Amino acid sequence: MTYELLLSEREGDIAIVTLNRPDKRNALNTQLRDEIRKALEEIEADDSVKVAIITGAGPVFCAGFDTSEFATTPPEQIFSGESSRRYHHRLQNFARPLIAAVNGSAMGGGFDIAVLSDLRVAAAGATFGHPEIKFGAATLFGPLAAVVGGGLARELCLTGRRMDADEALRCGLVSRVVPAESLLDDTKAIARSIAEAPLPALREVKASIVAAAPEHLPLP
């Protein structure tokens, strides 16, 4: 399938999804959210793929939801409307191991993409935060708390402060921090290690992860 705002590629049994709006800091407009959902569905239907990587084009991983859409659509409809719910549902219920290669800032919905992935590898200059709390958007607490613990998740969700890559490593948000120029290669190496396992075993483990996830997001 051809996409306008992302790239979906295969390298053997690894799929690589790249958010491709670098001029907009890979902000999540409705079209990009829908394309991410469709790309993940397409990967799930491909039994030759064992692991997926998601990353961003340019210097930013994802700046969060595209605020330019607020001019025509109420923010609450964007955050909780059908497109958003289906997109979040697919991320949380994706039936393959998903690794976020965080190449730069992961803000708001970009932070959520990273948290809803199974593993996170960060470039040295990556940052994470929930600035959307400042303009009235509720943050996704449960999945973040499951990764970093309730106390730190409360702080990040309520204050909107930024966390740098070193702190993300110390608190367990990311598995490793690597130079930006080797990020994708290092992430592919982890993906290849995961892909050594047979697909049925990976599916079973991922199903267990999904079943245990807090704040499970049902389809609208």
CATH code assigned at 152: 3.90.226.10
For the chain, 220 residues long, give each residue's pLDDT as a single digit of tens.
899 999 999 999 999 999 999 999 999 999 999 999 999 999 999 999 999 999 999 999 999 988 776 656 655 555 556 677 899 999 999 999 999 999 999 999 999 999 999 999 999 999 999 999 988 888 899 999 999 999 999 999 999 999 999 999 999 999 999 999 999 999 999 999 999 999 999 999 999 999 998 754 443 3
The answer to whether residue 217 is domain-embedded is no
The answer to whether residue 1 is domain-embedded is no
Global pTM value: 0.93
The answer to whether residue 115 is domain-embedded is yes
The answer to whether residue 110 is domain-embedded is yes
Cβ-based neighbour number of residue 54 at 10 Å: 27
The answer to whether residue 135 is domain-embedded is yes
The answer to whether residue 113 is domain-embedded is yes
Strand partners of residue 128:
106, 163
The answer to whether residue 137 is domain-embedded is yes
> Domain span at residue 165?
6-212
Across 35-135, the runs of DSSP E, i.e. the strands, are: 51-56, 98-102, 105-107, 119-123, 127-129
Domain count, the chain: 1
Q: Describe the crossing of helices 109-116 and 82-93 by its angle, rounded to 10 degrees.
A: 30
Tokens standing for residue 55: 């990353």
The answer to whether residue 220 is domain-embedded is no
